[in-house]
Chains A and B, each alone.
Chain A
Amino acid sequence: QQQVKQSPQSLIVQKGGIPIINCAYENTAFDYFPWYQQFPGKGPALLIAIRPDVSEKKEGRFTISFNKSAKQFSLHIMDSQPGDSATYFCAASMDGGFKTIFGAGTRLFVKA
C-alpha cells in the first residue's frame, strides 16, 4: 500500500515529442505528489508537484495530470529537448513530506 508504481521503465522520443510518464499509488493518505529529475552523478531535483485537490498543473514545458479517483498521475514534457534526457521519478508523501515514497524511475532519452 506504500508503493508508487511508475511506467514505463525507459522511453525514447524524438526532439519536439511529448513523452508521458505514468504513476499509480494505493494509499489515499498521500497528499503531495512531486516529480523529480535526476542526471547521472547528481541528486534528484524537484521539477513540479501537485496536490490531490487539483487535476492539472503546468510549469513551463512540464505538466502534471492528476486523477484522484483512479489514484493515478502523469508527467507530460512538451516540446522535449535533448537536454531533457535524464531519469524521472514520481513520488508521493503525506503529513509534511513524511516518508516520501519514490517510483522506480523512467530513463528518458530525447533524440536530436
Chain B
Amino acid sequence: DAGVTQSPTHLIKTRGQQVTLRCSPISGHKSVSWYQQVLGQGPQFIFQYYEKEERGRGNFPDRFSARQFPNYSSELNVNALLLGDSALYLCASSPRFSGERTDTQYFGPGTRLTVL
C-alpha cells in the first residue's frame, strides 16, 4: 500500500503570495492532520480533519486554512505569505478519530516551502 503522499515536494513563493499544499492519506484512513516544521524544531500542529470536518486547530493565524474532500484527501492553504512561513509542511493520516482511544499518525515526506 502507498503511504501518505504530498505535493508538491518543493515550492518557492514570494511574500504576500498564496500557496496550496495537497495531501493524500493512506487508503482507508479518514483523519488527516497538518503540521509545520521549522528547521531544527519539532512539528507544530496546525489542523486536524476527520470526515471532512475540522476537529482541531493549533495556534496559527487565520491566514492558514484547510479542507478535506470526500475522498479524504486534504489541502492546506496559506494566504499572504510571510518569510516566517518558510518550513516543511507535513501531512499525517490516521485510521480513525475516536474520543475513546488514540491513534497512530503516519507522516508523509512533507512539502518544503521557501518564502522569499
Shortest CB distance B84–A (Å): 18
**When chains A and B are docked, how far (Å) is the Cα of A6 from the Cα of B41?**
11
State which residues 32-73 of A face B: CB under 8 Å.
32, 34, 36, 41-46, 49, 51
The yes or no answer to B107 lying at the interface (CB within 8 A) is yes
B102-A93 in contact (CB<8A) = yes
State which residues 58-105 of B face A: CB under 8 Å.
58, 90, 92, 94, 96-105
**When chains A and B are docked, how far (Å) is the Cα of A104 from the Cα of B44?**
10
CB-CB under 8 A from A13, the residues of chain B are none
Known: A43-B107, A43-B109, A45-B107. A96 touches B101 (CB 8 A): yes
**When chains A and B are docked, how far (Å) is the Cα of A101 from the Cα of B44?**
7
Known: A96-B97, A98-B55. A46 touches B43 (CB 8 A): no
The yes or no answer to A25 lying at the interface (CB within 8 A) is no
B103-A97 in contact (CB<8A) = yes
**Interface size class for chain A?**
20 to 34
The yes or no answer to A102 lying at the interface (CB within 8 A) is yes
Known: A97-B97, A98-B56. A103 touches B42 (CB 8 A): yes
**When chains A and B are docked, how far (Å) is the Cα of A57 from the Cα of B107?**
22
Which of chain B's residues has its CB closest to A42's CB?
B109
B45-A96 in contact (CB<8A) = no
Known: A42-B109, A43-B107, A45-B107. A94 touches B45 (CB 8 A): no
Which of chain B's residues has its CB closest to A98's CB?
B56
Known: A34-B104, A100-B33. A105 touches B42 (CB 8 A): yes
Shortest CB distance B107–A (Å): 4
The yes or no answer to B24 lying at the interface (CB within 8 A) is no
Which of chain A's residues has its CB closest to B101's CB?
A96
**When chains A and B are docked, how far (Å) is the Cα of A76 from the Cα of B42?**
19
Known: A43-B90, A89-B43, A95-B99. A100 touches B109 (CB 8 A): no
A43-B110 in contact (CB<8A) = yes
Q: A43-B92, A105-B41 are in contact. List 11 more A-B contacts (CB 8 A).
A: A42-B109, A43-B109, A44-B90, A46-B104, A46-B106, A89-B43, A97-B105, A98-B48, A102-B35, A103-B42, A105-B42
